[in-house]
Amino acid sequence: MVNMSETLICPHCNTDVDEHPASRCLDAWVATTVMWLDLGGDASDWLTREAAKHYSTDIAVAWEIVDWIRSRQTPVEVMGDEWYDGGWWRMRVYDPTGKRITAEGYTEVEGPEREEPNVCLAICRAALKSMTTK
């Protein structure tokens, strides 16, 4: 099972998953760890070419992750809210019974100069955490 208090560090940039921004680096990490894709080349190559899809910034592509997790008979929940000066998104991955959360990704932004809350980022974070087993 997943230890939700465990720190998960990106193998490419050494950033904690909960602090990792939406980026090509995160896309490559998701592609290889969650979607089990072989991107070819080395990690530095992945960041500059289109080997990985834009999981962390394109909702249609991020939803492929949700569908893939669901195809494994794993319940997921995606929820969020946005308002004039902020917003948040969360994705939870449950055990097969749907009663216990095994992984959770969260992103929140606030303030008038904020960026848009990114549901794709929450999906990527939860998906990466769901692949970490003890």
pLDDT value of position 3: 45
Has residue 120 been placed in a domain?
yes
Boundaries of domain holding 72: 25-36+47-130
Please count the structural domains in the chain. 1
pLDDT in tens, 42-74: 666 666 566 789 999 999 999 999 999 999 888
pLDDT value of position 37: 84
Has residue 84 been placed in a domain?
yes
pLDDT value of position 134: 40
pTM of the model: 0.82
pLDDT value of position 97: 83
Has residue 1 been placed in a domain?
no
pLDDT value of position 62: 94
pLDDT value of position 126: 93
Has residue 9 been placed in a domain?
no
Has residue 124 been placed in a domain?
yes
The low-confidence residues of the chain, meaning pLDDT below 50, are 1-4, 134
Has residue 66 been placed in a domain?
yes
What is the DSSP track for the chain?
---TTS--B-TTT--BTTTPPSSHHHHHHHHHHTS-----S-HHHHTTSSSS--TTT-HHHHHHHHHHHHHTT--EEEEEEEETTEEEEEEEEE-TTSSSEEEEEEEEEESTTPPPP-HHHHHHHHHHHHT---
